[in-house]
Structure 1
Amino acid sequence: MNNVITYVKPVPFMKMLFGSALIPFGLFAILFLNIIMGAIFLVLGINFVATEGSQVDITSKTYRRTQSIFGIHIGKWKPCPEFEYISVFRTHENQTARVITASATVRSEVILINMFYGNKYITFYKTTNKDDALKVAEHFKVVFNIDILDATEAEKVWL
């Protein structure tokens, strides 16, 4: 069994494809053309394929916020605080695409898993599937020995 639970925000296919093409072009340009232009293309490509997320090591009870590039996770491990409960709730996520004179906002429904301690929280997982979210929350419940608050419906329920 894997002892690290990982959440990574997915990168859209076209963004990944474009970034994956810019990285080798940037490397080629650094080596054979113009170093400055190559570095610009390389940084743009890395920016397109990079994503953020979080990981929890259930063995050592540590967590980290991550920046991920092609499945390589970078971040500093921190000890988990003494969590009081897990909240599974439904919310909306907005993504805005801007061009010089126009912008478009796409709104989608997501389910977040937050772990609360005091009046603070850490978001550990995001999905669009309620069953998946409850399964992950149940895993956290067993690991940290805390209760789950299901706030995905109008009536909040302790599980």
Structure 2
Amino acid sequence: MSKEIEFKFKSPESSPGYLLGQVTMLWQRRIKKCLDPLDLTQTQFVLLAAVGWLSKKLEAVTQIDIANQSNADRMMVSKVLRTLEEKGFITRQEHKTDTRAKIIGLTESGAAVLQKALIEVENTDMEFFSVLGSNLSAFNQSMAELVQEYNK
């Protein structure tokens, strides 16, 4: 018989990583359900939202800006942006001064689908996280601290 396996946590429910994984999977199912009618994946939505957000504060949004904003792999961002371009949601143009960079912009249909998706996702988030009640602010603050700490 092999040595008994030792766990640091007494149960899966006392492991923050396990719980984060479970919450993430449950939340992603809800997000998928609200985005499916718009023909968007969660990743496509995140990148569209990054384009929309960055466009409010930058004159020229690049793929690198989008990857940095969304904490996403640059190659994956490039592939997903190509898909969004094929769907007619974004434009990709050559950068005026950097031949390696692409300038990304929302099309009219991209802005329209993003607005619909934002409403759906924000409503889904409010419903999903409503069970936290008055603890929502502390939960958000804790997640923001983790993002800041590990996004260095």
Q: Which interval holds the TM-score relative to the shorter structure?
A: under 0.3
Structure with greater strand share of residues: 1
Structure with greater helix share of residues: 2
Return the structure number with greater relative CO, CA threshold 8 A, min gap 6.
Answer: 2
TM-score (norm 1): 0.22
